[in-house]
Structure 1
Amino acid sequence: MSTEVNNETEVALDLAEFAAIAEHVLHHMHVNPRAELNILFIDPEPMEELHVRWLDLPGPTDVMSFPMDELRPGTAESETPAGTLGDIVICPQVAARQALEAGHSTAEEMLLLTVHGILHLLGYDHAEPEEKKEMFDLQRTLLLTFLAERGA
């Protein structure tokens, strides 16, 4: 996988960990190994600008996904074509608040947001109850298998 991870914040992050979870998710979703993905960590102010510009919603949000080639999950027999999956933008400061409310670490929250963002890039959504159940069950499974394999 060609995953580029950049941190434009002052928050200390293990960028290799985010590349690893992206690789885990894309492998399990049978995405072509040549697919490109960008993960960017930004501060609340630029996140708020994106949130207002693209969703017309106030305030910073936790994660936003910007699909490019509209790749979809493949199967064990047929992976997706190569292409650009898109960009995921995460705000660590918003993630930290959510992690505190959820009772887990900020790192775990950002790993969850990475999985969530990738699933959005692959066409998953959570607008309807059935979609939400499918997406959230899948993101939980992907995160837990990643953490189990990493010995976390």
Structure 2
Amino acid sequence: MSIDVNNESGWEVDEHLVLDVARHALARMRIHPLSELSVIFVDADAMEQLHIQWMDEPGPTDVLSFPMDELRPGKEDEEPPQGLLGDIVLCPEVAKKQGDAAGHTMDDELHLLTVHGVLHLLGYDHAEPEEEREMFGLQQEILHSWRAQRAAQDD
């Protein structure tokens, strides 16, 4: 899996763990190992500009996803297609505020937002209650399995 990570935010971010959780999410969703993903960290001003440009909403947001080849999760009995998954744009400043409000670290929030962004790239949404349950349930499942895998590696 080719994943490019660029930190243009000015914030210190554990890029290795973001890369690891993204790889885990993509493997869990059966995305072809030769597919490509880009993760970019930006400051609040840059995120606000993107938020206005693409969502027509003011203020910075936590994560934006820009799908490219509209890849979908692979099925157990089929070879998944290869392609450009797209871009995930994250704002550490917003993640820090949200993490503080939720009682966890900025890094934990960035891991959650990375998985959230991956799911959006794969066509998941949370506009309707049923979609929200499915997407957030899958998001929690992926994060839980990633954390369990990391804990087992640390032992």
Is TM more than 0.5 here? Answer: yes
- Tell me how far apart the structure 2 counterparts of residues 134 and 145 of structure 1 sit (CA, whole Å): 16
What does the per-residue CA deviation read over 1:39-67, in whole Å, with 9 as the maximum and x for residues that have no partner? 00000000000000000000000000000
- Tell me how far apart the structure 1 counterparts of residues 10 and 86 of structure 2 sit (CA, whole Å): 24
Q: CA deviation at 1:15?
A: 1.1
Residue aligned with 1:4, SS: strand
User: Which residue in the other structure is 1:124 paired with?
Assistant: 124
Q: CA deviation at 1:13?
A: 1.3
**2:87 counterpart of 1:92:** no
User: Which residue in the other structure is 2:74 paired with?
Assistant: 74
Q: Which runs of 5+ in 1 are unaligned?
A: none
RMSD over aligned Cα atoms = 1.0
User: Which residue in the other structure is 1:15 paired with?
Assistant: 15
What does the per-residue CA deviation read over 1:98-127, in whole Å, with 9 as the maximum and x for residues that have no partner? 001111111000000000000000000000
**2:49 counterpart of 1:49:** yes
- Tell me how far apart the structure 2 counterparts of residues 20 and 76 of structure 1 sit (CA, whole Å): 22
What does the per-residue CA deviation read over 1:123-143, in whole Å, with 9 as the maximum and x for residues that have no partner? 000000000000000000101
Q: CA deviation at 1:75?
A: 1.6
- Tell me how far apart the structure 1 counterparts of residues 101 and 87 of structure 2 sit (CA, whole Å): 26
Q: Would you say the 8 A contact 1:125–1:132 is kept in 2?
A: yes
Q: Which runs of 5+ in 2 are unaligned?
A: none
- Tell me how far apart the structure 1 counterparts of residues 48 and 99 of structure 2 sit (CA, whole Å): 19
Q: CA deviation at 1:76?
A: 2.1
Identical-pair percentage? 54
- The one-letter amino acid paired with 1:17 is L
Q: Would you say the 8 A contact 1:31–1:79 is kept in 2?
A: no
Number of residues paired by the alignment?
Answer: 152
User: Which residue in the other structure is 1:137 paired with?
Assistant: 137
- Tell me how far apart the structure 2 counterparts of residues 103 and 150 of structure 1 sit (CA, whole Å): 21
- Tell me how far apart the structure 1 counterparts of residues 48 and 131 of structure 2 sit (CA, whole Å): 26
What's the TM-score once normalised by structure 1's chain length?
A: 0.97
Q: Would you say the 8 A contact 1:30–1:78 is kept in 2?
A: no
Q: What does 1:23-42 align with in structure 2 at a 5 Å threshold?
A: 23-42=23-42
- Tell me how far apart the structure 1 counterparts of residues 78 and 26 of structure 2 sit (CA, whole Å): 13
